[in-house]
Structure 1
Amino acid sequence: MSKFNFGDVFIIDDDIVVRILVMKILKNIGYQGNIHQFENGELALNEITEPTKDVTKSGFNLVLLDINMPTLDGWGFLDGFTALADDQKKGHYITMITSSIDLSDKEKAFSYPDVKDFIQKPVSVQLLKDFLIQHKLLEE
């Protein structure tokens, strides 16, 4: 049986097809935790900063973040996240998942200390599984 080493999942992407696909992949590989969906960075940042939100039992939540979104894009989310107090930030493991093939976007993403990885779409079962195993977020 697979063991997931994170709590909840936050999928931040304006494309509902991507959100549903990632949810289905996670469920298919055995993830049974909570999955929260947000169509823009503002909604996600509001959820993360809500005073009643605690770090999960697993110590942190997995955040899958797109770059290009309306209202507040991935960069705006990261700027807002970076400005949070350390105790609010420590509970989140951020990975960019984007269709961008621009090397400058990848470099910019890694300029944020809270970004752990950069994955290019399209997302597949194998791509997501490999990412989780590589970062020790999944033990099979």
Structure 2
Amino acid sequence: MRGAALAGSLAMLSLATACSGAESDATAKKGTPMPTAVTAAPAAGVVAPAKVEVIAGLTGCTAKIRIDADELRQGVCHTEESDYLITTFPEEQYKETWLESASIYGGQYLVGSRWVVSAQPKMLTRFRPVLGGAIRQLGGTGPSAAPSAS
């Protein structure tokens, strides 16, 4: 079952990382994570973990469900400003496995109790006061798009 969760999460990482922003050069070189703090979301008025549809509504969209599996549910939101993914998990361990898999691609994610939002950094900053959670910077260890100067 864990293998299925990992396989499902890896299949979706390409879209998730396409929606996530690249970390700044200074942060990438230093290898230091961006400071984050978990905050409550008084504007949300819900108790996490929320459903994809609830998170989508709070961010101003109606999500189209892409994955509805035992290990995760994922919806995609299309807005005038940005496209982004909302992923929810039935258990915290599935979220952590998904994040561990996503870490090879790097980027920033808004992470809450059994949910993750994958979006451009400016959108994550906008969503955080509404949804709560913490913006997490994941380290990229995968191949670089730019050739190295050797």
Give the TM-score normalised by the residue count of structure 2: 0.28
User: Over alpha carbons, which structure has the higher Rg?
Assistant: 2
